[in-house]
Amino acid sequence: MKELAGKNVLVVGMEKSGLASVAFLRDRGAHVTATDMHPHAVEGAPFVLQQDAPFLNSDLIVTSPGVPNDLPELNAARAQGISVIGEVELAAPYLLGKTIGITGSNGKTTTTAMVGHILQEAGIPSQVGGNFGTPVTAMVASSRQDQWNVLELSSFQLETIREFRAEIAVCLNVTQNHLDRHHTFEAYASAKSNLFRTQRPEDYAVLNQDDPQCRAFAGVGRGHKVWFGSAFLKDGEIIIGEERLMRASELPVRGHHNVENAMAAANAAHLAGVPVDVIASALLTFEAVEHRLEFVRKVKGVDYYNDSKATSVDATAKALESFEGRLWVILGGKDKDSDYSVLESLLRKKARKILLIGAATPLIEAQLKLPTERVETLENAIMLASQGATPGDTVLLAPACASFDQFQNYEHRGRAFKELVNALEK
């Protein structure tokens, strides 16, 4: 729906992307109504609580990523022929330039930041956003025909796209996540696959050869397939195409998963026109993204790492694999129908202490079958760890859960962790 002027549009969900959608629609002459389950102050549009929202009297409904796509009100609107789209799809017809779309259960924020950093270092015009940073609708005004839009895209965003297209589409991995929202792994994977369905033969699909679901995506869409993975790591050297990129050990971010992220980012940047030597030089100066295995500080010989973005079991496993051992691991938060038992062997091998916070504590405790300690809050976890850890230990926040039981989001949780750690010095 390119023409928006005069249309009655309902925007559902008043988080960052919902507010950006309201402003975007208002600027294009639409009659906008904003709604959410909770009261919000919305500039430039009337707000009504969700139970009173005019779902069936709208020409178009735009949902924020946090809004379940199977809400009864949305299904009723679809049954009446009302179009229901997400914020990414709303922006798609207006976004100038080409797009690199990046998805995956884990690593997509880091990979998106890596691609943006490489393009910037190469002097190629680009802007970065999506699920990470700036909403796509807020990127339209600054978009240009001669630039790349580098977008992190979540399953919540991808399940509502129809025409949105990424000239370079990247999938890092697909592991069990967000089953509280998608209900089945198949539905979750299907949402991810939408990124490739709209591609054309001249486009590129960059896929992890080591991931079964990524291999399955090779049969989706018409983009030319480009692979990365262990087959392209030879004697410790990362290979891009037929060229040596760099030694994996030279990467400034820790963990094998970040080697995969760098492979994916390097392939995407290379396809966007960056020479391999420039990619290597840029990766050497890349700094870890906030809340992703972020080193906070050393206090009395103990290292503190913030991986608040580890909101899935698989992400926490990758964090644990990045350390030799002697870990004080902080787990817990809001459960997402996850299986925590898969962490048992890693925790048994690497953890000195497992500290449980938040609503998922009983579930994690029951599934792990390991000694754990209920501490309830992040503050209690830091206090206990700081009292018991000895020089050479590491305190790691890698919760394997969403944050919404005690925090606004994972960023809020990560900031709280860093503030508590920094206060230890005082």
**What phi and psi values does residue 361 have, to the nearest 5 degrees?**
-50, -50
What are the tokens at 8? 């009655």
Query: What distance in Å separates the CA atoms of residue 76 and residue 10, rounded to the nearest whole number?
Result: 14
Q: How many CB atoms lie within 10 A of CB 367?
A: 17
CB 255, CB 112: distance < 8 Å: no
Contacts of 139 (CB under 8 A, 6+ apart): 91, 95, 127, 129, 149
Q: Which residues lie across from 208 on neighbouring strands? A: 228
CB 357, CB 376: distance < 8 Å: yes
For the chain, helix (H) and strand (E) counts, in that order, are: 16, 20
Catalytic residue among 16, 98, 106, 108: 108
Active site residue 108: yes
Q: Identify the burial level of 5 via C-beta atoms within 10 angstroms of its C-beta, where 0-12 means exposed, 13-18 middle and 19 or more buried.
A: exposed
Assign 113 to helix, strand or coil.
helix
Please tell me the number of Cα atoms within 13 Å of 97 on its side-chain side.
Answer: 22
Active site residue 131: yes
Q: Residues for the chain: how many in total?
A: 426
CB 151, CB 99: distance < 8 Å: yes
Q: Please choose, from the candidates 195, 17, 20, 207, the residue with its C-alpha nearest in 3D space to the C-alpha of residue 111.
A: 207
**What kind and span of H or E run contains 344?**
helix 344-350
Strands (E), 145-275: 148-152, 168-171, 204-208, 224-228, 233-234, 237-240, 243-247
Query: What distance in Å separates the CA atoms of residue 183 and residue 68, rounded to the nearest whole number?
Result: 11
Catalytic residue among 16, 98, 117, 131: 131
Query: What distance in Å separates the CA atoms of residue 260 and residue 242, rounded to the nearest whole number?
Result: 17
Catalytic residue among 16, 98, 117, 178: 178
Query: What distance in Å separates the CA atoms of residue 179 and residue 186, rounded to the nearest whole number?
Result: 10
Catalytic residues: 108, 131, 178
